[in-house]
Structure 1
């Protein structure tokens, strides 16, 4: 197997995901873990550095649709692998334009 072509080893039980999705269409699929994902300790440090969500400011705003940690994991995945924004794996569950928007800000 050539890991550069994306056909490296898959997480255990990943072959079950299509069957689970077919039986439970409303249930979100579990996301694969990547080496670039933030650890709990890294997240504790990073979360304090991020700006306050606009919905928690006096001016107000809409609540964020995507969990911040998942967005940070997606940004780290792209920068770690040198992939194109449009090549963001679908199992992150976030549109690539959203991830790029956070990155650009």
Structure 2
């Protein structure tokens, strides 16, 4: 097991949340755990897909799994389920912090068709792709801005993606509106209640949410 790979304890929690395979017969050559570790390596380090170490299996298989689950909303469902389990165990500290960071877009991010619905594989999958595709011009060049809400254990609660030149303050309410943790069993999902806009200072915010 490499540094940063899933531990046996983590895999025991994650495996039951994964989609069930539909193919009968022999098990796949490349186990899901191996491919998921390869995906996590790529996301953690930022290397090109082709540079994912061979120990994780063929990079094309890892990318195919990542892309299929991204388009089908599987990753989002897994995250939501993990949040529900953490909340049921009292592992979420409901003092949320909101801030943003800017990411420089890769040089190949430009050049996609303006009419994304005409692409061979339209973007977005089950989610609506923003008109600007989360790309814009800022002082850093061609950039994307990530607006993230986290609890005090640094677990992600919600994320909003905008073009790099978008201001932080207008996204304060949208990122909090996306906080929604379903309860295991009866009860409505946990969401944030009304939060005064005066609580934000234009850069980062912290507040107690219920």
TM-score by length of 2: 0.30
- Indicate which of 96, 100, 105 corresponds to 2:59: 96
Look up the match of 1:37.
5
Q: Distance in 2 between matches of 1:101 and 1:61?
A: 21
CA positional deviation for 1:62: 6.6
Coordinate RMSD, CA, aligned? 1.7
**Count of residue pairs brought into register by the alignment:** 68
Q: Distance in 2 between matches of 1:91 and 1:65?
A: 13
The reply to whether residue 49 of structure 1 matches residue 12 of structure 2 is no
Q: Distance in 1 between matches of 2:59 and 2:36?
A: 12
Question: More strand per residue: 1 or 2?
Answer: 2
Do the aligned residues in 2 keep the contact of 1:85 with 1:96 (CA within 8 Å)?
Answer: yes
CA positional deviation for 1:75: 0.8
The reply to whether residue 74 of structure 1 matches residue 38 of structure 2 is yes
TM-score by length of 1: 0.58
**CA deviation vs aligned residue, 1:24-72 (integer Å, no higher than 9, x gap):** xxxxxxxxx32220011110111011100112xxxx5774221111111
Compare relative contact order (CA 8 Å, sep 6+) and give the higher one, 1 or 2.
1
Q: 5+ residue gaps in structure 1?
A: 1-32
